[in-house]
Structure 1
Amino acid sequence: MISSTFERMREAMQLSAEKPDPALLPTPRQLRRSTIAAVIGAAFIGVCVYMPAEYGIDPTGVGGVLGLTEMGEIKQQLAREAAEDELIHGGGEQSSRLVDDIFGLFAGAAHAQEAWVDTVTFSLAPGAATEIKLVMAAGDVAEYEWVATGGRINFDLHAHGDGQSIDYDRGRGATEGQGSIEAPFPGEHGWFWRNRDDANVTVTLQLRGAYSDVVRSE
């Protein structure tokens, strides 16, 4: 008898533990309210926090107040720069060809900008001489480069004009030269060449810069 009484009491306690009190359970209306509140909260976080912080988009202005919009704009800028770097440095053979083409265009433009304007070529027999002069104004700057083939040559780079004269450079038995002339006064600035070798010498002189004329005299 006592055993059966205890058995019934234990079963009653199990049933009480398995079946919650209906009064403690949320009603369907409460569940709907909780769901709507969760959706509104998630939307608020997405619009006011996530979008400004990740994309720099701030339709409400809250992100700007919290300093999140600036952070999102920085992230987007970094992402754009990474994409541009990938376009330039990545992408395999096609991107490499694109980069090569771009650098080729720049190199071609730089070469065109630096091209020589005038080229003067002359030959001197043994013992012969000639002069090549640039007509320049005060302050003009001209660049030059020359090479002698077939032998060596002597030169005297000087200027005269406006009652003044100046020696820039001299050479004996030279085969090449390069540099620039900055005219301190107006006049003719250039070279006196003489072939002291035993064979004919050909000189090719390239010029560019500020000068009005190239004059040759024997």
Structure 2
Amino acid sequence: MTEQIPPASALPSTRALLRSTAIAAAVATALLVTVVLPAEYGIDPTGIGGVLGLTEMGETKLALDKEAATAAQPPTVAAVPCPPAPPAPVAAPEVKAPPVVAKAPSDVTQVTLKPGEGKEVKLTMRAGARVSFSWATDKGVVNYDLHSDHPTTGAYHGYGKGKGLAKHEDVLVAAFDGRHGWFWRNRTDDVITVTLKTDGDYQEIKELK
């Protein structure tokens, strides 16, 4: 069967085509402004979308899209600051013990003298050393001689002597290294005890036999 070609007079003219195109474009624009924009984006330049309820629909859609986008974002993790490092321990200042000062020797020595008896007590001292001393009898009087014998020559060195004394006190300063001390003699008929107190720089106190 042979297809029939319509005559040229039956085809629309160019003017008619342009008119149809313009009308279609106008209708599409009108739909975009009055329907699509209010319904999709909540934009209503003509106000018709609000009357038709399309603007509210678009605003709701935008709000839902915004919520969905927010929910899709990963949660923000607040940075937790690291705790500060503990301060370095401060070493306690070294406490130095005070120097130990040797205490000067101090002694109390007693000698008992029978009638006519003599006894000697000596301190070992260095040259220039000082010793405070005092002695006293329990009764009666004695004779005394405070002296030293040089350790190498044996020469006698006297510091003082007396007769008929019941007590005596002074400071003994050693003239040289060696032994320095007292010799007492009892010239009475009674037994006498002599108490000697020494305090100072000496190494030893000893009764000589």
TM-score (normalizing by structure 2): 0.48
TM-score (normalizing by structure 1): 0.46
Answer 1 or 2: higher relative contact order, Cα 8 Å, separation at least 6.
2
Please tell me whether Structure 1 or Structure 2 has the larger radius of gyration of its CA atoms: 2
